[in-house]
Amino acid sequence: MTRLGGLGTASAVLLAIVAVTTLCAPLLAPYDPDFPDLLSALSGSTATHPLGADALGRDVLSRLMYGARTTLIGPVLIICVSTLAGTTLAITAAWAGGRVDAVISRLLDILFAVPGIVFALVTVAVLGPGIPGVVTGLAVAYTPYVARVVRSAALRERNLPYVAAAWVQGRSAPAICTRHLLPNLRPIIVAQSVSALGFAVIDVAAVSFLGLGVQPPTADWGLMVKSGLDSAQRGQPLEAIAAGVMIALVVAAVNVLGDRLGRRR
């Protein structure tokens, strides 16, 4: 922990708190996130609703606690899939070299040139609004983010003597890749996928904000910013600010962690 530095530790603690709150939301949340307390609608901060209630009178604090689930599960899923796919592609490219490498690299370059959210919107157009479409699109879009860095690291690693030594000893290519190459690349893979997680949180929340991701009435931070914008026009900006600040905090914490992990390698 100490190696993360003060800011790094603070970020890890913040993320841990968010994770625990999310898991224990039913125990911790003061209200049912869907319970409409119509008398308190757009109330602002009160003793009973510390962060106020939204336009339908639902408690903003409770919705923030529950909303972390949908806000964070999607991005985590995206990063898992894209890291797996990216690493496989990268190691295949680095190991095979030649034409296989050229084709994979070119493909990754093209994917990289198209912003993630455009992918997400296209898959949502095909699969319909909702988290499955968003996750599919962004998982594809984030694959080059991990793969490009891992490929160049794997190329460097592949030329090191220990790989040749394992080869001479008669190990098979998959065995060398999984037993030797992968463990050595792990720090780079971890650092790169953590920093991709920050972008994924932003993109998933943005798609939900557009109304194409998580669907109401599910509590979700991106959706809360959207409904908060309507509330703000009716004079009550608290919901939008609370959800927006939470997203920014989580992304900032993830970015700091990614940065610290990247620096240590």
Q: Compare residues 55 and 122 and give the one whose CB is closer to other proteins.
A: 122
DSSP string, 232-248: HHTT--HHHHHHHHHHH
Residue 82 tokens read as 């894209």
194-233 positions binding other proteins, by CB under 8 A = 198, 202, 205-206, 209-212, 222, 225, 228-229, 232-233
Q: Compare residues 14 and 85 and give the one whose CB is closer to other proteins.
A: 14
Q: Compare residues 94 and 204 and give the one whose CB is closer to other proteins.
A: 204
Q: Which residues in 88-204 belong to E strands, given as ranges?
A: none
Asked if 4 is part of the footprint of other proteins (rule: CB under 8 A), the reply reads no
Q: How many residues bind other proteins (CB under 8 A)?
A: 40
Q: Compare residues 94 and 205 and give the one whose CB is closer to other proteins.
A: 205
91-130 positions binding other proteins, by CB under 8 A = 110, 113-118, 121-122, 124-127, 129
DSSP string, 184-226: HHHHHHHHHHHHHHHHHHHHHHHHHHTTSSSPTTS--HHHHHH
DSSP string, 26-90: HHH-SS-TT---GGGTT--S-SS-TT-B-TT--BHHHHHHHHHHHHHHHHHHHHHHHHHHHHHHH
Instruction: Tell me the closest approach of the beta carbon of residue 94 to other proteins, in angstroms.
Output: 23
Instruction: Tell me the closest approach of the beta carbon of residue 85 to other proteins, in angstroms.
Output: 17
Among 33, 144, 244, 258, binds other proteins (CB under 8 A): 244
Instruction: Tell me the closest approach of the beta carbon of residue 256 to other proteins, in angstroms.
Output: 8
Instruction: Tell me the closest approach of the beta carbon of residue 144 to other proteins, in angstroms.
Output: 13
Which of 156, 164, 143, 207 is CA-nearest to residue 184? 156
Instruction: Tell me the closest approach of the beta carbon of residue 179 to other proteins, in angstroms.
Output: 37
Instruction: Tell me the closest approach of the beta carbon of residue 178 to other proteins, in angstroms.
Output: 32
Instruction: Tell me the closest approach of the beta carbon of residue 205 to other proteins, in angstroms.
Output: 6
What is the maximal distance between C-alpha atoms in the chain? 76
Q: Compare residues 87 and 236 and give the one whose CB is closer to other proteins.
A: 236
Helix axes 182-209, 60-96, angle to 10 degrees: 140
Q: Compare residues 36 and 129 and give the one whose CB is closer to other proteins.
A: 129
From residue 31, give the alpha-carbon distance in Å to each of 27, 58, 101, 220.
10, 8, 54, 16
Asked if 8 is part of the footprint of other proteins (rule: CB under 8 A), the reply reads no
Running DSSP on this structure, what letter comes out for residue 2?
Answer: G
Asked if 48 is part of the footprint of other proteins (rule: CB under 8 A), the reply reads no
Residue 10 tokens read as 């603070």
The residues binding other proteins (CB under 8 A) are 110, 113-118, 121-122, 124-127, 129, 198, 202, 205-206, 209-212, 222, 225, 228-229, 232-233, 237, 240-241, 244-245, 247-249, 251-252, 255-256
